[in-house]
Amino acid sequence: MTILDTYGTNSCSAKELSDLLADRLALTFAERESDYRGIYYLATLADGTRLQVLPNTVPGDGGEEELYDDEYPDVSVLVLVLVTSPADAQVLGDELTAIEGLNRLASSRR
């Protein structure tokens, strides 16, 4: 089973949040850039769990910014967590929701 959790915050930038998560969870985030997501930060754990921290505004057509996830127009930074083990998702979720200003927005199981 794969779990995709989405978290969001307005209290810091994507870079600041990736630095905070790196310290708190002992992770290393790599800065990435894509045409679709713009600049975002990715950490991959040994078990394949992936954490992506990205701004909710991304480069759009014509140079104008668009929302990455239009379900959350009032959220400036998103954390997307893709986990393959339900137990790991719960532990990681507890760590993430303990961060002040970071809220779980959605969770889906596939």
Other CB atoms closer than 10 Å to residue 21's CB: what's the count?
21
Whole-number pLDDT of residue 88? 67
pLDDT-derived band at 63 (thresholds 50, 70, 90) equals confident
pLDDT-derived band at 110 (thresholds 50, 70, 90) equals confident
The label of the residue with tokens 């045409």 reads: 35
Instruction: Judge contact between 80 and 14, C-beta under 8 A.
Output: no
Predicted TM-score of the model (pTM): 0.89
Class of domain 3-80: alpha beta
Instruction: Judge contact between 94 and 77, C-beta under 8 A.
Output: no
Q: How far is CA 39 from CA 22, 63, 109, in A?
A: 17, 15, 27
pLDDT-derived band at 86 (thresholds 50, 70, 90) equals low
For the chain, give the mean pLDDT.
89
Whole-number pLDDT of residue 49? 87
DSSP-assigned letters across all residues of 79-100: EEEEES-HHHHHHHHHHHHTST
